[in-house]
Structure 1
Amino acid sequence: MRTVYVNGQYLPEQEASVSIFDRGFLFADGVYEVTSVLGGKLIDFDGHARRLQRSLGEMEMRAPVERGELLAIHRELVTLNEIEDGLIYLQVTRGAPADRDFVYPDEDVAPTIVLFTQSKPGLADSPAARAGISVITIPDARWGRRDIKTVQLLYPSMGKMAAKKAGADDAWMVEDGQVTEGTSNNAYIVKNGAIITRQLSTEILHGITRAAVLRLAREAQMTVEERGFTPDEAREADEAFVTSASAFVMPVVKIDGVALGEGTPGPVARRLREIYLEEALKIAI
């Protein structure tokens, strides 16, 4: 039986509940983070904690716990659920006022905080990473503040389903003729040895894994270009990949049915995955 955390209590998942008036449920008025666990240790916790604080600030929401307590909760859940490899999902909402109202509740309404674990044995040794994944391109119909990691995930979910129906693994979203990002990851192409990914703005999520991977790429003397790229450029690339907290560096071998290079994970993506996992494990806590 899995133990979860809800508003200060560790509970069996069957006993966990939040109010029907919670604004996360009624308005998607909440933010979240997902932290990977490898070998029982948290991967890039500090980065996720910093981004959570930023998201809360952008949403004018107060933090329900301090960083130290948040770390303690993560570690306790890893212990209670005996997680060796897996994920910890964290969600904070604006809370549960007495009734539904579009206007934000008074400040005395406490935020709701929920955490739960997902066991993923062999998370870093993914068969998909060895074979690569396929993506399709779809229009980007999300709201304008994608830099805030909100729980407004309906359109990305619809994108995942569109990919599944098309026989692909994921979708890359396109706005004004350029790729923004994947449904749950940042998107990259590689051309003539250069790693190309969209620059940071309100149009994409400021990925924690993205930041680490680009830093490591530059330290390895790889060329990095932070700019937009078109679907045509992507289909003509030498290789491609995505990054996220749960997929790390995941090679993309097919875009809109077009195979890239040899149709297998390319050397840049393979190397970046290798050095990212090596570095992440060194500093895991």
Structure 2
Amino acid sequence: MGLTLIPGLGAKGITKLIDHFGDAKKVWEADYLDLKSVGIRKDVVEKIIINKNKINLELEVEKVLKYNLNVLTYNNFPKLLQEIHNPPLLLYTKGNLELLQGFKLAVVGTRKITGYGIGVLNKIIPSLVGANVVIVSGLARGTDGKAHKLCLENEGKTIAVLGSSIDIIYPKEHNDLANNIQEKGLLISEFPPGTRPKKHHFPLRNRIISGLSKGVVVIEAPKKSGAIITAQLALEDNRDVFSVPGNITNPYSEGCNMLISEGAKLVTCTEDILNEY
């Protein structure tokens, strides 16, 4: 946890250090000369030493306990998430960890969901819930939030992956939804307590959404959108991509229609998804 709090070190850098020293504790206790012997740049070594001395690990643990979080390291991740090309090293969670072992599909789409998109969700979410599928999404406005709500309303299981820490819910209007999810589902974030949402957090969150899931279902999405990024990440990690076709005059369906033209499985009903499995 301490190593992930060092700015600019990153998962690859941490992994390299752990591979060299044998475990995270030995990395944390290494001095300047020890770190320099690994072959990393001098400025990175200096950054590690300076920032390490600023981090109070006991205080960080107190925050985790205060918010009643579970902390998972890479070895405790579901196998699917371990397999992606840039997995996180650590996740903060709150809720039912057993959901990580279930069959998971991501459902994503535009924040500006239309009546058509809502109708599609009303059609497929209850059927997916009935098939005991765990719905994974990102708690965002629009498609994500409605997918989570429909899942809970149908007594289903859902996982929300956040672009902020679990103690700072974004958007704020989803506070009640997040509370319901932590009671009946699972909240996940790779960001430590006290982390506010930032623009670059959301592509990072998207790789976890797709990484947890066997496949990604895109409901409505412009060509340039977080949902399309999630679908592309899914393809890179050899996951299935499903796409709901839309009106060719609607910009919020352009991304979905593009995915279908590029080989995504066309979805008109839940069976189009479930039959793949």
Query: Shorter chain as normaliser: what TM range?
Result: under 0.3
- Normalising by structure 1, we get a TM-score of 0.25
More helix by share: 2
Q: TM-score, normalised by structure 2?
A: 0.25
Normalized per residue, the structure richer in strand is 1
- Relative contact order, CA 8 A, sep 6+: which one is greater? 1
